[in-house]
Structure 1
Amino acid sequence: MRTTHAARRTAVTALTTAALAVLPLTGGEGLVAPAHAAPARTGAPAQQDHGQWQGGWATSPQAPAAPFGPNWSQQGFADQTVRQVVRVSTGGTRARVELSNRYGSIPLRITGATVARTDDGASVRPGSLQQLSFGRHRSATIAAGSELTSDALPFRTRALESLTVTLHLAGPTGPATFHLMSSATSYRAQGDHRADRGGAAFTETSESWYYLTGVEVSGGGAPRRNGVVAFGDSITDGVGSTPNADNRYPDELAERFAATGKPRSVVNQGIAGNQVTNDMDWAGEKGVARFRKDALGEPGVGTVIVLEGINDIGASGTGAVGTPSPEVSVAQLIAGHRSLIRQAHAKGIRAIGATLTPIGGSSYDSTANEAKRQAVNDWIRTSGAYDAVVDLDLAVADPTDPARMTPTYDSGDHLHPNDAGYHAMARSLDLTGF
């Protein structure tokens, strides 16, 4: 195996070089949760049928932050409607959504919610809009630090179909749990517009997702534990890809499965700026701590692809934003990867290691950082610790200068791929290996 959008991408590059962290990995595991970690889920409906479901779409929740300029997370919402568009990787005859208040400071009141087939922009297709319920009620309250899954809804979906989820938030929510880098447009309207077919009322936009962390599907056939979770940082999150085009590498992988006539659950649990070994005050809990919640808890997951560590290397000792990130050694980073592998195996989940992609010419480029990247990649390729390896480094490296990304795959910052680069990454995975 192998915002303006340009301005925002530049900001992401600058900030991913400034990793901000608190708890360094110690003792090889480093699984003690930080002070801001969420408690166990409370108040959620029983999920006895969890094994019948597949992840259609998912994203990792983050604490409110605005490292690139204003978004809606820190202020939250009050008598507003948020409409968000996502694409499911596989289909079914039933659907349900997951909402998260993991980083909320007060209970979150969902006044009402709907799901529909996406039309154009904030519009939805005529006749497709349906009300969601929670424990047979149209409204619900999610305790601070918790998640909530809606009731199952008869709703036929096809693989690679776009759905629109709309939330009406009548009362003040306080700061919002969100996902910073969505590479997709979310829409906001004043008042209650959850049942609107048209998008005229949705006059505000954001390139983040709010509260919505999953769309699950079932009824597409016998339940199978063959879902794929892509876990990582901004290169998994899709920074550098065209917004609203679903060209992140996990999207491209889902398209490859669908093209075979056998769609499969492929969900993206990347967070831009995330590290394996250090918590980030704008880019999420460290990978070894969030892995269990964000990756291993997905329904039907059988394989996790791990592509993470470039921020541990490139951001060491820098701190343009937030708390400076401590130096991370190759040994510490490898220990972090071993922790991820152990966690996956403890759940009976296969772990595929992805080599770290080139940094030559980027803000991470230095002799010391390149030596670390090569050492980590050598370990991923040769240690046998992972169940399989996908050489994403080789997939996008310039054959004439392997420390750099192939120019036609480069988004322009020499760190993040463009659409063609993400396509090449997905193409390098051997589907039979899943």
Structure 2
Amino acid sequence: MTLRALAAACGAALLSQLAASPAAFAADAPVHWVTSWATALQPIPQQANLPALYRAPDVAGRTVRQIVYPTLSGDVIRVHVSNAYGKAPLVIQELRLARSAGGAAAQGKGGVAVTFNGKASVVIPPGGELDSDAAKLEIVAGTPYAVSSYMGPEQRLVAWHRVSSQVNYVSLPGNHAGDAMGGAFSQRFTQYAWVTGLSVDVPAGATVAAIGDSITDGMRSSLNENRRWPDALARRLAREGSGSTAIVNLGISGNRLLNDSPCYGDALARRFGRDVLEHPGVKTAIVLIGINDINFSSMPPRAGLDCDSPHTSVTAADLIAGYERVIGEAHRRGVRIFGATLTPASLPPQRESIRLAVNQWIRTSHSYDGVVDFDAALRDPAQPVRLRREYDSGDHIHPSDAGYAAMADAIPIDAVANAPRK
């Protein structure tokens, strides 16, 4: 091989490696790409005798159809696919995007085929991520779309977004990505997998990223109804004329600020860069995190799968130091960051004192660019340690649909939606 040929081959290999690396997500993104929908992945525990809640569906040689709701309109799209936490290559043999026709059905023979470097199939190495090529498809904000992925013959599901509050589908064996009817999609599951972002070409657009734990994830909100607080905020933005602003939900149920979990994903302080800052178009972040850090130290250890491990005790000072790290990371990337106060959770006095100290710091330190006072919006005036009855889903921690709507109403929308452009 000549020196010139060798250099070309090495260059091609390097470009291929960069294209599938997490760092390439932002670096390669043109300024007009704006994230319209996104989710955050967490590893699936890999051990024997998992509880049914953590058993993944069989996807090898089958088609996975996921329903997503973009929050910003456009007519040129691209899809972001992630093999985070993968130990083997992620193989997608065909991927299509279509407007949903309800349930597992899709309009227009499965919609448009999405390619990767001009090819219908893609192989992404362990830990890699990749954007698709641009494709023409009209995206209407607030409308459901079906993302259909025909998976490789040995593909396993090792990472997901566990609490999607959305019914998704797995087919019988075979390529059903182009099926308009949903008859082949015999299995339902309520997680998201592999597809972690949908971007649209909107030169004047911007994205607000909501990140946190189960209260951002929408735990105990109505299934298939989009009643999480980021959903309600997206509707409010559209209603009040902020049609060029998307809102994406990057909450993970059980997530903590400072500690990783075998079930609930990387600590927010570690995943913030990947899950927020690497998405194109993000100008503002809203952070609600810390109640699990306070609570998990008091959870009893469990034999077998202990999702609450490590049972680490934290102080208000520990949490504040973690918030400051996240704030610094956002500011270094030119992203404005709003801190949300921790909502009432009927905590015993010692843990409640930590929550109150954290909220006092969020409100008064001026470390964040702004404050969203979810605590004030949800607390019972007569018993501030508790949620208002009408905002309580029943477990005294997670809001009801009405509570999530009240959270969206509490956000200072002009400040959040009108962040300076980078």
Superposition TM-score, scaled by structure 2 size: 0.88
Hey, what does 1:13 align to over in structure 2?
none
Deviation at 1:261, TM superposition (A): 3.0
Query: Aligned partners of 2:226 and 2:289: how far apart in 1?
Result: 21
Query: Aligned partners of 2:373 and 2:298: how far apart in 1?
Result: 28
Please say if 1:230 is aligned against 2:210: yes
Query: Aligned partners of 1:49 and 1:289: how far apart in 2?
Result: 22
Q: Which amino acid aligns with 1:332?
A: D
Hey, what does 1:348 align to over in structure 2?
334
Which of 240, 250, 254 is the equivalent residue of 1:269?
250
| CA distances 1:144-193 after superposition (whole Å, capped 9, x unpaired) | 00111111111111111211100001311234321111000110012211
Query: Aligned partners of 2:379 and 2:265: how far apart in 1?
Result: 28
Query: Aligned partners of 2:156 and 2:228: how far apart in 1?
Result: 31
Which of 98, 103, 123 is the equivalent residue of 1:116?
98
Hey, what does 1:28 align to over in structure 2?
none
Unaligned residue ranges in structure 1 (runs of 5+): 1-39
Which of 298, 305, 309 is the equivalent residue of 2:286?
305
Which of 381, 386, 389 is the equivalent residue of 1:404?
386
Which of 398, 402, 407 is the equivalent residue of 1:425?
407
Structure 1 stretch 169-178 or stretch 350-359: which is displaced more? 169-178
Query: Aligned partners of 1:42 and 1:285: how far apart in 2?
Result: 24
Asked if 2 retains the 8 angstrom alpha-carbon contact of 1:41 and 1:145, the reply is no
Asked if 2 retains the 8 angstrom alpha-carbon contact of 1:78 and 1:172, the reply is yes
Asked if 2 retains the 8 angstrom alpha-carbon contact of 1:276 and 1:288, the reply is yes
* Helix, strand or coil at the partner of 1:210: coil
Query: Aligned partners of 1:262 and 1:347: how far apart in 2?
Result: 23
User: Which gives a bigger RCO, structure 1 or 2 (Cα 8 Å, sep 6+)?
Assistant: 1
Deviation at 1:329, TM superposition (A): 1.2
Matches within 5 A, 1:34-53: 43=20, 48-53=28-33
| Residues 397 and 147 of structure 1: CA distance in aligned 2, closer, same or farther (over 3 Å) | same
* Helix, strand or coil at the partner of 1:348: coil
Matches within 5 A, 1:259-408: 259-263=239-243, 264-318=245-299, 319-320=301-302, 321-322=306-307, 323-360=309-346, 365-408=347-390
Hey, what does 1:416 align to over in structure 2?
398
* Helix, strand or coil at the partner of 2:377: helix
Deviation at 1:64, TM superposition (A): 1.5
Hey, what does 2:68 align to over in structure 1?
86
Q: Which amino acid aligns with 2:122?
A: A
Asked if 1 retains the 8 angstrom alpha-carbon contact of 2:259 and 2:310, the reply is no
Matches within 5 A, 1:43-82: 43=20, 48-65=28-45, 69-71=52-54, 73=56, 77-82=59-64
Which of 196, 214, 222 is the equivalent residue of 1:242?
222
Asked if 1 retains the 8 angstrom alpha-carbon contact of 2:216 and 2:251, the reply is yes
The share of aligned pairs that are identical, in percent, is 38
Asked if 1 retains the 8 angstrom alpha-carbon contact of 2:39 and 2:196, the reply is yes
Asked if 1 retains the 8 angstrom alpha-carbon contact of 2:110 and 2:179, the reply is no
Hey, what does 1:256 align to over in structure 2?
236
Unaligned residue ranges in structure 2 (runs of 5+): 1-16, 417-422
CA RMSD of aligned residues (A): 1.8
Deviation at 1:421, TM superposition (A): 0.5
| CA distances 1:204-259 after superposition (whole Å, capped 9, x unpaired) | 111111111111111x4x334x3200010000011011011111111111111111
Which of 115, 126, 129 is the equivalent residue of 1:133?
115
Q: How many residue pairs get matched?
A: 387
Asked if 2 retains the 8 angstrom alpha-carbon contact of 1:305 and 1:352, the reply is yes
Asked if 2 retains the 8 angstrom alpha-carbon contact of 1:176 and 1:211, the reply is no
Asked if 1 retains the 8 angstrom alpha-carbon contact of 2:110 and 2:177, the reply is no
Which of 135, 139, 148 is the equivalent residue of 1:153?
135
Structure 1 stretch 115-124 or stretch 169-178: which is displaced more? 169-178
Q: Which amino acid aligns with 2:325?
A: S
Superposition TM-score, scaled by structure 1 size: 0.86
Asked if 2 retains the 8 angstrom alpha-carbon contact of 1:76 and 1:172, the reply is no
Query: Aligned partners of 1:185 and 1:68: how far apart in 2?
Result: 20
Q: Which amino acid aligns with 2:324?
A: R
Deviation at 1:412, TM superposition (A): 0.8
Deviation at 1:41, TM superposition (A): 6.1
Query: Aligned partners of 2:290 and 2:125: how far apart in 1?
Result: 33
* Helix, strand or coil at the partner of 1:371: helix
